Chain A
């Protein structure tokens, strides 16, 4: 099974900061990766698919990059509504899609 490891597990940041979250796959997954945002009490929301494609309606301050085993989610200028938990998910072994353990972004 493909394992997904995110780092850091949590990050404290201020509005306007740049935030970078890393996701590593235990084996190569090409670009078969998604990023989701989840706020407390809500379902996850798709932000990025295919490693770097911005989902429709998602602000351009979110960007994704990477391929193979290392992937990055960047938030260029953190906004108040961005405080949430972020998950990566590999779909290389679709329909079995493993999630990372999550990265919580909270207020500094």
Chain B
């Protein structure tokens, strides 16, 4: 059974940067597109970014475009989210998710990592 495990969350000051990681195991990571989804405290789910299986295409929500960068290292089975110019409104649990056995639907999710942007 496949597993996604996020790491890298923490408390960071506004304007600073943070990099999240998502390590995949038990799945053919290099064949699957990967996504980041976030959830602010007490709020709903927000799709953040996506990357093609080979890294050739990347997509971002308007709320993070120009500040966040999604990337992947297929040799390490790891997905990344580089977050720059962080704002208080970026405070959320960040999940990596992927359509592994399905084509478009997120059937695999990590447990999430909390990012708190505060001075």
Whether B109 and A44, one on each chain, are in contact in the complex, defined by CB atoms closer than 8 angstroms, is yes
Say which one of B11-19, B23-31, B45-53 lies at the interface with A. B45-53
Chain A interface main SS type = loop
Whether A46 and B44, one on each chain, are in contact in the complex, defined by CB atoms closer than 8 angstroms, is no
Say which one of A11-19, A74-82, A94-102 lies at the interface with B. A94-102
Given contacts A32-B104, A46-B105, A49-B102, contact A100 B47 (CB under 8 A): no
Whether A43 and B44, one on each chain, are in contact in the complex, defined by CB atoms closer than 8 angstroms, is no
Interface flags for B72-106 (1: CB within 8 Å of A; 0: not) read: 00000000000000000000000101000010111
Whether B44 and A96, one on each chain, are in contact in the complex, defined by CB atoms closer than 8 angstroms, is no
Interface flags for B31-72 (1: CB within 8 Å of A; 0: not) read: 001010000000011110010000000010100000000000
Number of interface residues of B (CB under 8 A): 20
Is A87 part of the contact surface with B, judged by Cβ < 8 Å?
Answer: yes
Interface flags for A84-104 (1: CB within 8 Å of B; 0: not) read: 000101010011111111100
Chain B interface main SS type = loop
Is A34 part of the contact surface with B, judged by Cβ < 8 Å?
Answer: yes
* Residue numbers in B under 8 Å from A50 (CB-CB): 105
Number of interface residues of A (CB under 8 A): 24
Given contacts A43-B111, A43-B112, A87-B45, contact A96 B106 (CB under 8 A): no
* Residue numbers in B under 8 Å from A96 (CB-CB): 47, 50, 59, 61
Chain A positions within 8 Å of B, measured between CB atoms, are: 32, 34, 36, 38, 42-46, 49-50, 55, 87, 89, 91, 94-102
30 A–B contacts, CB within 8 A, in A order: A32-B104, A36-B45, A36-B106, A38-B45, A42-B111, A43-B95, A43-B97, A43-B109, A43-B110, A43-B111, A44-B45, A44-B95, A44-B109, A46-B102, A49-B102, A49-B104, A49-B107, A87-B45, A89-B45, A89-B105, A89-B106, A91-B105, A94-B104, A95-B50, A96-B47, A96-B61, A97-B47, A98-B47, A99-B44, A102-B45
Chain B positions within 8 Å of A, measured between CB atoms, are: 33, 35, 44-47, 50, 59, 61, 95, 97, 102, 104-107, 109-112
